[in-house]
């Protein structure tokens, strides 16, 4: 088996929950040597489930499993001098340090960048927090939900008017911050000779989304014209059909905007007469008449399954897709054939299935091959005696 692309890269993670652990996992997926440092009672994600049969157990958490494969793990109380010294020893010859603690906490522990740069001037430190290292909210307590909603992503794009703005039902801001930390962090390692040593990269999960998503799409227009929009709950209010509709066994993402797509949908639906009416002849007038049109399409979708609708639409050139449930997404033959789901043996859980690498590198394949560490599993291997806890 060819070695991983990042073989030889040494990463230390002082992270809990989602952002820093997922960032470090991206490196672990591609062969970096990642040591996860947990407090003596473990990463909080160990308590967050899901658990088999909903029975809490610190070694059986599904979220923790997903985020921490391919890592080795130690436990250290870094608030004690001995624990801090052990961490410093791990960082002395590390390439990267990935963490998501509150900035003041890191200063209190003496683990801020300036202190660490004295020990290892080549260290690339990636700090991923809800609001970043600077600015008035830097000291605030916050979690994924708080960071996500400061970006206006929900207020603008997710939810119905008059009702609460919505997160997407996952750790959207944490994943975005992890992703940005990985790209910028690896660039800083790649260009270390050019830059002249290590550095700290300051990632604010809220700021990443407020830049590349809501900022990108809205801020130029708002700054120039002073007008802005809010969520509609519809999908695409200016063109139609572009929304989620119910069908016989669930929902479909109904999209038929361009003339060819609309004609394809008409063919799949058996060319009903109403589709020839003038008020439905382009995506803009269809949007103006959406209240009349959506029920007509829905009558048809309710008679068909999402798989039928998707298959027939895609065949004819209409980009409508099934809203897959999580089991349907997990079991799709496409992903099985591509090897995207993998099974790993875990000492407590037994055989466990998880998701593979986020992208494929044919010359240096990645993805999870070993289970996440048990609490303190590698203390003997990686720590000198005094700091063990």
Partner 1 sequence: MAAPLPLKNVRVANFGWVWAGPVVGQTLGFLGAEVYKIESRSRIDINRTLPPFGEGVNDPDRSLQNHAGWAGNGSVTLNLKEPEGVELAKQIVAVSDVVIENFGPGAMEALKLGYDELRAVKEDIVMLSMPTAGLSGPLKNVRTYGMSLTSLTGIDSFTGYRDGPPVPVENAFSDPYNGIMGAFAVLVALTHRDRTGKGQHIDYSQQESIMQLAGPAFMDYVMNGRAATTMGNRHPTSAIAPHGVFRCQGDDRWISIVVANDEEWQGLCIAMGDPQWAQSSDYATSAGRVKHIDSLHEQLAAWVAGHDDHKLADLLQEHGVAGVPVSSIADLLADPHFKARGTYVEVTHPLGFKETIYGSYVKSNKFVAAVRPGPMIGQDNDHVFKDLLGLPEERYRDLIEREIIY
Of 146-205, binders to partner 1 (CB under 8 A) are 146-160, 162-172, 175-176, 179-184, 186-192, 194-197, 199-204
For residue 128, give the nearest of 51, 180, 199 by alpha carbon. Answer: 180
* 329 near partner 1, judged by CB under 8 A: yes
For tokens 């790993």, the residue is: 344
Interface with partner 1 by CB under 8 A: which range of 70-78, 240-248, 266-274, 372-380? 240-248
DSSP secondary structure of 296-339: HHHHHHTTS-HHHHHHHHHHHT---EE---HHHHHH-HHHHHTT
Q: 161 and 86 in contact (C-beta within 8 Å)?
A: no
Q: How far is the CB of 90 from partner 1 (least distance, A)?
A: 22
Q: Look at residue 37 and give its three-state secondary structure.
A: strand
DSSP secondary structure of 203-235: EEHHHHHHHHTHHHHHHHHHHHH-------SSS
Q: For the beta carbon of residue 281, count every other beta carbon within 10 angstroms.
A: 13
Q: How far is the CB of 385 from partner 1 (least distance, A)?
A: 32
Q: How far is the CB of 154 from partner 1 (least distance, A)?
A: 7
**Contacts with partner 1: how many residues (CB under 8 A)?**
157
Q: Which is nearer to partner 1, 255 or 383 (CB)?
A: 255
Q: How far is the CB of 382 from partner 1 (least distance, A)?
A: 24
Q: How far is the CB of 55 from partner 1 (least distance, A)?
A: 10
* 347 near partner 1, judged by CB under 8 A: no
Q: Which is nearer to partner 1, 71 or 388 (CB)?
A: 71
- Residues with Cβ within 8 Å of 332's Cβ and at least 6 positions away in sequence, in order, are 324
Task: For the sheet with 242-247, list strands across it.
Answer: 242-247, 250-255, 321-322
Q: How far is the CB of 94 from partner 1 (least distance, A)?
A: 16
Q: How far is the CB of 99 from partner 1 (least distance, A)?
A: 15
For residue 340, give the nearest of 324, 360, 323 by alpha carbon. Answer: 360
* 39 near partner 1, judged by CB under 8 A: no
Q: What residues between 266 and 325 interact with partner 1 by CB under 8 A?
A: 314, 317, 319, 321-325
Of residues 113, 262, 280, 294, which one binds partner 1 by CB under 8 A?
Answer: 113
Interface with partner 1 by CB under 8 A: which range of 78-86, 99-107, 274-282, 347-355? 347-355
Of residues 260, 272, 338, 348, which one binds partner 1 by CB under 8 A?
Answer: 338
Of residues 364, 370, 380, 384, which one binds partner 1 by CB under 8 A?
Answer: 364
Q: How far is the CB of 347 from partner 1 (least distance, A)?
A: 16
Of residues 221, 260, 272, 295, which one binds partner 1 by CB under 8 A?
Answer: 221
**How many whole angstroms separate alpha carbon 356 and alpha carbon 206?**
27
Q: Which is nearer to partner 1, 46 or 388 (CB)?
A: 46
Q: How far is the CB of 82 from partner 1 (least distance, A)?
A: 26
Q: What residues between 46 and 85 interact with partner 1 by CB under 8 A?
A: 47-54, 62-63, 65-67
Q: What residues between 121 and 140 interact with partner 1 by CB under 8 A?
A: 131-138, 140
Q: Is the alpha carbon torsion for 280, 283, 288, 292 positive or negative?
A: positive
Q: 345 and 333 in contact (C-beta within 8 Å)?
A: no
Taking the alpha carbons at both ends of the chain, their separation in whole angstroms is: 36
**How many whole angstroms separate alpha carbon 46 and alpha carbon 181?**
23
């Amino acid at each position: 088996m060819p070695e991983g692309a990042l073989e030889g890269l040494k990463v230390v993670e002082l992270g809990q929950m989602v952002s820093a652990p997922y960032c470090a996992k991206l490196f672990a997926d591609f062969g970096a040597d990642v040591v996860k440092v947990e407090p003596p009672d473990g990463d909080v994600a160990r308590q967050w489930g899901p658990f088999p049969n909903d029975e809490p157990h610190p070694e059986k958490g599904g979220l923790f499993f997903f985020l921490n494969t391919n890592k080795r793990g130690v436990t250290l109380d870094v608030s004690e001098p001995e624990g801090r010294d052990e961490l410093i020893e791990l960082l002395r010859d590390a390439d990267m340090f990935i963490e998501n603690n509150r900035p003041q906490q890191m200063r209190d522990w003496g683990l801020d960048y300036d202190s660490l740069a004295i020990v290892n001037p080549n260290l690339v430190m990636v700090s991923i927090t809800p609001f970043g290292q600077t600015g008035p909210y830097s000291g605030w307590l916050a979690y994924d939900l708080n960071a996500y909603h400061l970006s206006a992503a929900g207020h603008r794009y997710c939810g119905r008017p008059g009702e609460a703005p919505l997160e997407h039902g996952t750790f959207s801001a944490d994943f975005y911050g992890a992703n940005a930390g990985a790209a910028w962090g690896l660039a800083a390692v790649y260009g270390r000779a050019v830059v002249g040593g290590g550095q700290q990269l300051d990632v604010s999960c809220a700021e990443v989304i407020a830049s590349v998503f809501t900022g990108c799409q809205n801020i130029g227009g708002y700054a120039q014209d002073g007008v802005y929009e809010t969520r509609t709950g519809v999908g695409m209010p200016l063109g139609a059909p572009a929304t989620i509709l119910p069908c016989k066994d669930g929902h479909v993402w109904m999209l038929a905007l361009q003339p060819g797509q609309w004609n394809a949908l008409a063919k799949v639906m058996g060319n009903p007469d109403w589709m020839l009416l003038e008020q439905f002849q382009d995506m803009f007038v269809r949007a103006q008449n959406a209240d009349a049109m959506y029920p007509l399409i829905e009558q048809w979708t309710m008679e068909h399954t999402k798989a039928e609708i998707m298959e027939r639409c895609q065949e004819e050139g209409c980009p409508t897709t099934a809203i897959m449930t999580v089991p349907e997404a997990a079991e799709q033959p496409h992903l099985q054939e591509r090897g995207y789901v993998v099974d790993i043996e875990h000492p407590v859980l037994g055989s466990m299935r998880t998701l593979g690498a986020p992208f494929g590198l044919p010359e240096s394949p990645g993805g999870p091959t070993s289970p996440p560490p048990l609490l303190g599993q590698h203390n003997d291997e990686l720590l000198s005696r005094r700091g063990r806890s």
